[in-house]
Chain A
């Protein structure tokens, strides 16, 4: 077979395809997004974006009950959203093979926490696999479907950012043709009422014992013996770092099936080596289990729990080596935090809200989290997907019970996140009559994860036309009064400003919907390609009002304000804030 280079995510998609997976559903989230995007391109499969991870998980679970091989994918925090069905499907088991991919983000490149989802496997009592490179992503997916059907369990497939987004060389295999299993009604298996669940719990424990024996005999767990002075037990990407640093100067137990753990293999390996290290990123998942077996080993005493692991850290921790043959400099590179892009439609409403000093602003997960960045600085709190509206409601309630009336509470949420889990917060605000201002920033795409379709975009993952959920109608039907809804173009500051004032002054639940597509959508880029703003140097008084919109295209250097034509998309927000009319639109 020809060798090609694939990312872990591409290889997971390929592995699912080769394993004959029929159906996939999930929600985008870095670093998992490209799995479904790639799987969706294969011939003869069905793949969809669900509005959130719980829905995606349940679609996949239902498809498994229906007899199909199924896949659901999500980032680590997404599994929290899907945790409810996870714990019960763990009891029900599967019909068609069912694989759940959780993509963790050590180092939090694009996440709000660093939770280690390996703990979900023992907690939910399901099998777990952990690949360490792209070839294993492909091979382990195929193994996962076999394990799932053989042991009647879903398989948790745990990957991390550096596995998902690293590319390595792989050989593809052949697609296996798998027919959808027949569906047979079986209420003791598929209806989890207490009487059935009690019996099921015993089965789950028996299944774990069978899986433990399997784990001790599967090639997914493998021993590499060379120098016995140092023994390493490791899994996932940490294996690659360990091999990089220690190479043949150590022996390895590489764990590919990390729940149930291969306890007999671990004991045997530990007995063979002089000094045993457990090398793992983030939490002491392996270490705690191995220490509980009464085996002496070194782990988190020398390898940090926080942040991403890398070979530098390992080299220093195990060998005490620091590479000093490098360059140092006193040149201070300026800090470069992520920012709202030039032409971002979110800028307009954040700019207008930034003028108010008497607000508390509850933000959400998406590009608009960046409303927090200076000079806009419009965000007080961000928790998780969909929390903006419900948290705003709570803040307002705290204001009300303490008779604090000096601050208006605003919330900001994007279209995809609103569909994900914001709408329930809105229903709650209406139901309990909490007078907050809810800003739904509709840019017609799931932006931060790299432009995925959602229920508002009119297209499905596999590019079929779809009905577009009308946010205004949805909000109306939830009970927001028609006089308390404003739909504005955030590129037009006058109407945005008026809507913000009305929301600020309202004593009822109030909704502003901003409508303008993401500036990076291909068609938008094409349509606005020639549109630019430019500064008329004669008229410019260097008052720097335009710098307050925080646009990366506007630069003040050597006493002159300029707009970078390569970045500007002519949104015109700076033009509208200039008190001297010194910025004009150019191009067509």
Chain B
């Protein structure tokens, strides 16, 4: 029996968490895992806080991850990592995009955005991986590929490098985005 693993993707509506989790689930399926994935549609996608949950193993029942049971949290936006921290398993990993998106209450001065988040998160969670995925993706030619940079980093944390991710990426992304996404994935996995 392989123990079930859970990955929680968190971010802001419109950041592309769904594509990253789609590549992950397809790869896991191809490798013979039972997989479930749950995503959020509708109103929250309009700039709200969004999550995509992926669970895999020999047999998965609940598509939802319990508090304290996520092996990895991949945070596409920094403060979202803090919001969902109670879902992380003791000694789990957080992969954090060094990227801030200010919500309206912060933009209009009603609330404060937390400062020194990288340091604070690293202090609380021993296994914190902070990546400037936006900068890496931009240097590769398209800032939008930051989600696949983060995916690469996640695969390394999950130790799933043996799956042929390049094939999965080629199957899923549109033809003209294959090269950049392969590069983004490689950059992520090599961090």
Contacts and interface: CB of A to CB of B under 8 A. Distances in A.
Interface of A: 3-5, 30-31, 33, 109-110, 133, 162, 165-169, 237, 240-241, 243-244, 310-312, 315, 323-329, 331-341, 367, 369-370, 373-375, 448-450, 547, 550, 552, 554-557, 566
Interface in B78-134: 79-80, 82-83, 85-90, 101-114, 117, 120-121, 124-125
B46 A240 contact: no
Given A109-B42, A109-B44, A449-B42, A167 B83 contact: no
Interface string B41-57: 11111111100000000
Tell me the interface secondary structure of chain B in the complex. mixed
A399 to B, nearest CB: 31
B108 A165 contact: no
Contacts of B25: 5, 167
B68 interface: yes
A285 B64 CA distance: 23
A323 B13 CA distance: 29
A109 B44 CA distance: 7
B162 interface: no
22 contacts: A4-B29, A5-B35, A5-B37, A162-B38, A165-B40, A167-B35, A167-B63, A169-B34, A240-B61, A326-B88, A327-B90, A329-B124, A331-B117, A332-B114, A333-B82, A334-B79, A339-B47, A339-B104, A367-B46, A552-B102, A556-B109, A557-B102
A334 B112 contact: yes
Contacts of A237: 63
Given A335-B111, A337-B103, A167 B42 contact: no
Contacts of B82: 329, 331-333
B90 A326 contact: yes
A333 B88 CA distance: 16
A557 to B, nearest CB: 8
A31 B41 contact: yes
Nearest to B12: A336
Tell me the interface secondary structure of chain A in the complex. loop
B127 to A, nearest CB: 11
Contacts of A243: 61-62
Contacts of B107: 547, 550, 552, 554-556
Contacts of B48: 336-339
Contact of A334 (B26, B46, B87, B106): B106
A30 B41 contact: yes
B6 to A, nearest CB: 11
A550 B108 contact: yes
Contacts of B36: 133, 166-168
Contacts of B156: none
Given A166-B36, A336-B49, A450-B41, A326 B108 contact: no
6 closest Cβ pairs, A-B complex = A110-B42, A326-B68, A30-B42, A333-B83, A244-B62, A166-B63
B89 A550 contact: no
Nearest to A337: B48
